[in-house]
């Protein structure tokens, strides 16, 4: 396995990220060494809160929540997924299977011997983290999730699945604006709309991660976004980040060759009945149908990609019963950026009331 490592100089001078790095080396299935980075902040004897990010972010996403959690006596562990942040970055598309990410992060978890963990996951952080809990349930005491899921669609009509496959295999790569419009309709149009995100990510070799993250947080006006996009379409410039936040999210990816993880992983979301992860997802749902530890949902009201995805958990997971699940207003998809105080209050209240 070819592995890239982002030079340390790329992370110098990041705004609001004063945290010391920690590294763990694990072995991939083929014997390749992978170095995984994580943050470890707060008292060593405090309750552990494991915060896992999704695609295309990294542990920088938790910079607002970490000091708030530490002030409440929590020990915060925030890893970078393989392919992201300061963690190693395998260089091939086939390296980034869902199962590989679960195996790599479970190996990291076991190597660090974390126990008594309260898990928080959003986006791919939830997809991977919820499967880690299945693999190592004794290490976890409670779960909080936001804007994520455990995709499993065994009953999707074959005709719908065929249309999605055809679009992903032979359809043109959508433009940035076509992709954005489709994402706004995921909760209405389902897998075909999400396939626009999958197709755009894979078809965009130099994926403008910092630009996407900064625009998603409202740092650029719509007029500025449209103007810069027009210039990029004319070949006059590239969609490079222009704000401190955008530059921070772009920092792990100094060139297109470092972006294989963010490009490849959306295609690994198991949307179709014949997905390679379908059986593992079925077993995970069977596991959670008997999961009695506290399990809190804190989704947002304005994320069309995951809106309503909390309902299956609340309906099925015994550990959700009697807990104050909350729909967070105005949190967007990356709720850690928009509503960090609310998330911290929900997490710490759950820990305090279920010890």
pLDDT tens figures, 113-140? 999 999 999 999 999 999 999 999 999 9
DSSP-derived secondary structure for 269-303: S--STT-TTHHHHHHHHHHHTT--S-EEE--BSS-
245 three-class SS: helix
Residue 141 has pLDDT above 50, yes or no: yes
Residue 243 has pLDDT above 90, yes or no: no
| Residue range 276-295: mean pLDDT, rounded | 98
Closest by CA to 139, choosing from 165, 166, 106, is: 106
- Tens digits of residue pLDDT in 56-110: 999 999 999 999 999 999 999 999 999 999 999 999 999 999 999 999 999 999 9
Residue 237 has pLDDT above 70, yes or no: no
Domain with CATH 3.40.50.1820 in the chain: 3-152+276-353
Closest by CA to 144, choosing from 166, 129, 163, 157, is: 129
Please tell me the least confidently modeled range out of 119-128, 154-163, 164-173, 207-216.
Answer: 207-216
Active site residues: 123, 303, 333
Contact criterion met (CB below 8 Å) for 143 and 296? yes
Architecture of domain 3-152+276-353: 3-Layer(aba) Sandwich (3.40)
Residue 239 CA to residue 226 CA, distance in Å, equals 11
| Helices 278-288 and 124-135, packing angle to 10 deg | 70
- Tens digits of residue pLDDT in 16-58: 999 999 999 999 999 999 999 999 999 999 999 999 999 999 9
Task: Find how far residue 100's CA is from the centre of its chain.
Answer: 15
């Amino acid at each position: 396995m070819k592995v890239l490592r982002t030079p340390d100089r790329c992370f110098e001078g990041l705004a609001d990220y004063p945290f010391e790095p920690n590294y763990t080396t694990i072995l991939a299935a083929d014997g390749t060494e992978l170095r995984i980075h994580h943050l470890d902040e707060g008292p060593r004897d405090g309750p552990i809160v494991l915060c896992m990010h999704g695609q295309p972010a990294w542990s920088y996403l938790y910079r607002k929540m970490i000091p708030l959690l530490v002030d409440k006596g929590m020990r915060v562990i925030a890893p970078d997924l393989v392919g992201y942040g300061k963690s190693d970055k395998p260089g091939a598309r086939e390296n980034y299977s869902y199962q590989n990410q679960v195996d790599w992060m479970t190996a990291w978890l076991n190597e660090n011997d974390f126990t008594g963990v309260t898990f928080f996951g959003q986006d791919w952080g939830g997809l991977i983290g919820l499967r880690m809990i299945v693999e190592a349930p004794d290490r976890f005491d409670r779960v909080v999730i936001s804007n994520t899921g455990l995709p499993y669609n065994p009953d999707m009509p074959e005709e719908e699945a065929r249309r999605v496959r055809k679009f992903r295999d032979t359809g043109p790569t959508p433009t940035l604006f076509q992709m954005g419009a489709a994402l706004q309709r995921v909760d209405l149009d389902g897998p075909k709309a999400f396939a626009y995100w999958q197709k755009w990510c894979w078809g965009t070799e130099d994926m403008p991660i910092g630009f996407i993250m900064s625009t998603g947080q409202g740092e650029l006006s719509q007029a500025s976004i449209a103007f810069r996009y027009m210039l990029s379409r004319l070949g006059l410039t590239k969609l490079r980040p222009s704000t401190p936040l955008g530059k921070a999210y772009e920092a792990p990816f100094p060139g297109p060759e470092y972006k294989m993880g963010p490009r490849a992983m959306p295609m690994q979301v198991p949307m179709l009945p014949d997905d390679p992860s379908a059986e593992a997802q079925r077993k995970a749902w069977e596991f959670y149908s008997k999961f009695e530890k506290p399990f809190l949902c804190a989704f947002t009201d304005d994320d069309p990609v995951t809106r309503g995805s909390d309902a299956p958990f609340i309906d099925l997971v015994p550990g959700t019963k009697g807990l104050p699940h909350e729909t967070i207003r105005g949190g967007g998809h990356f709720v850690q950026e928009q509503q960090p105080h609310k998330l911290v209050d929900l997490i710490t209240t759950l820990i305090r009331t279920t010890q």
